Amino acid sequence: MRSQEQLLDATSPPPARHRWYRGLMAQVVIAMVLGIAVGFAFPGFAADLKILGDLFLALIKAGVAPLVFFTVVMGIASAGDLKKASRIGFLALIYFEAVSTLALLLGLAAANLFGVGKGAGALAPGAEAAQAPSADQGEHGVTAFLRDIVPDNFVGAFSSGQLLQVVVVAVLFGIGVLSLKPRMQDRINAGLEVVSEAFFGFVNVVMKLAPIGAFGAIAYSVGTSGSKMLLALTELVLEYWLVVAVFVFGVLGLVCLLAGFSVWRILRYVRVEMTLVLGTASSEAALPGLLKKLTRVGCSKQTVGLVVPTGYAFNLDGTSLYMSICTLFVANAYGIPMGIPEQLGLLLIMLLTSKGAATVSGGTFVVFASTVAATGNLPVEGAAVLFGVYRFMSMATAFCNTFGNVVATFVLAKWCKEMDVDTVRRALADPAAFLAQPEPDDAPAAPRTASRPDGVALSEPAPTSPTTGK
């Protein structure tokens, strides 16, 4: 006869098992592998799958601008005073300029060390020139940059597709909120938070489609240009990925170490978002998730709200690496000498043109082509040679850009004392267990208690709904 414990075990439901393939990261990785296989096996069919990646990114972009606006406004408003918000923003800009300059210098040093493009003299722009984005799509001088950061109207900032305009409008709006009376500030902040949560819900629904978008984007990339251009420019692609790895784990790793963090643990905490960036080659795909995760990990809302959106326009480390390496590739491929004085001048040009690259139509490649044109002695058509492998390089570029902003948020939150250090350590030590816990806002509220005159505590009944009475 079985014991009572055995009978209870037989009748109790089996514990729920977490199946690995249900996770978003695993689904995106599987989709990427399938996309590569389809791209090589059926290149014609794979070319038609581009629409899947385009639709997914379009849905993501539909929610990015409002999320950035609400996050920046609430970040400034939650600072409590303009002086505090200004201090965080000022330190962020100093950090962005310092790290971006390091990225440009590393890219130039690596390009000279590897001699990129010296063996590609036989390469010449061909049919790819018609497909490559033109440098004329955008003017990137100082005057044009200053003019483009201010929208024509409030709604135009959201419809232009330029994230920097949204940041400018949000900063001014947030300063306006700080100038109001405290009671009015609380009412506005409460309303903004509700609407922000609604947009996060919208993005969460869209994120369910991430594997489909990653599958279409990868299949199209491999099917249209992967096999052809990888054979011709494999060396450049591999060297570029190596330099990105050195920057992420070397430069950013050192920055993390100085701030008291482990770059590996930070990367593990945001691994789902970074996998999505690799699959879509878009930094914007990870922005909604990062805004929520970085706040939950213990970084203050005002730091996340100011650093992350601003970093998407000013802290583009991957773009800086791409521009410096690929510009020297074009120079070497066409036999144009670039000595130390010429490269220093190129560095100054790239410090200006790299700002706001993520908000320009065509992204990093358009800004790169504009930089080549701005040098005055490099052929713009040489950029078309690199367009065939741009997709493979853009995955590393987007990864470096995004992770650079993640590190910047941790570092600046620590420096500005806008961080719950105990929560950060607990989250980074075991990200899976930390993220599995319910968020503080989701936890059931404890019943309030009242006391009688004799001191005996009474449980206060839960409030009833005016419509249902429940």
DSSP 8-state code for residue 56: H
Distance in angstroms (rounded) separating the CA atoms of residues 338 and 142: 24
- Give domain status of residue 53, yes or no: yes
pLDDT digit string, tens, across residues 77-99: 765 666 767 788 788 889 988 99
Residue reference for tokens 């055995």: 6
In a domain, 8, yes or no: no
**Sequence-ordered alpha helix ranges (H) in 115-181:** 128-131, 142-148, 156-159, 163-178
**Do 59 and 278 touch, CB atoms closer than 8 A?**
no
Rounded mean pLDDT of 160-180?
78
| Residue 332: how many other CB atoms lie within 10 Å | 21
CA distance 71 to 293: 13
Q: Are 158 and 166 in contact (CB under 8 A)?
A: yes
> CA triplet 136, 373, 351: central angle to 5 degrees?
105
Tell me how far apart the alpha carbons of residues 388 and 386 are, in angstroms, rounded to a whole number. Answer: 5
pLDDT on residue 241: 94
Ramachandran region of residue 458, left (φ > 0), alpha (ψ -120 to 50) or beta? Answer: beta
CATH number at residue 53: 1.10.3860.10
For residue 235 the two structure tokens come to 């060396």
| Pairwise CA distance, residues 216 & 330, whole Å | 30
Please state the domain count of the chain: 1
Rounded Cα distance, 88 and 84, in Å: 7
- Classified as helix, coil or strand, 451 is strand
| Beta carbons of 135 and 351 less than 8 angstroms apart | no
Q: Which residue has the higher pLDDT, 454 or 354?
A: 354
Cα Dmax for the chain: 95
Q: Could you read off the pLDDT of 206-233 as tens digits, one per residue?
A: 878 878 888 887 788 677 755 544 554 6
104 and 328 in contact (C-beta within 8 Å)? no
Q: Does residue 17 form part of some domain?
A: no
Q: Which of 125-129, 163-167, 216-220, 364-368 has the lowest mean pLDDT?
A: 125-129
Q: C-alpha dihedral over 301, 303, 304, 305, to 10 degrees?
A: 80
Question: Looking at the domain assignment, is residue 13 inside a domain?
Answer: no
Contact between 355 and 163 under an 8 Å Cβ cutoff? The reply is no
> Rounded CA gap, 97 and 108, in Å?
17
pLDDT of residue 22: 66
Q: Read off the DSSP letter of residue 418.
A: -
Q: Please say if the pLDDT value at position 452 is more than 50.
A: no
**Percent of the chain residues past pLDDT 90, beyond the cut:** 13
Query: If residue 116 lies in a helix (H) or strand (E), which one and from where to where?
Result: none
Give alpha helix (H) positions in 163-300.
163-178, 182-207, 210-221, 227-246, 252-259, 263-269, 271-280, 287-296
In terms of pLDDT, which residue wins out, 121 or 430?
430
Q: Tens of pLDDT along 292-348?
A: 899 888 888 888 888 888 787 778 898 889 989 988 888 887 788 888 887 888 887
Please report whether residue 452 resides in a domain: no
Q: Give the DSSP H or E segment for 45.
A: helix 43-47
* Residue 239: DSSP 8-state: H
The amino acid at 10: A
Q: Could you tell me if residue 16 is inside a domain?
A: no
* Torsional sign, CA 243, 244, 247, 248: negative
Q: What global pTM score does this model have?
A: 0.65
Hey, what amino acid is at 115?
G
Which range marks the domain in which residue 56 is found?
A: 23-87+97-435
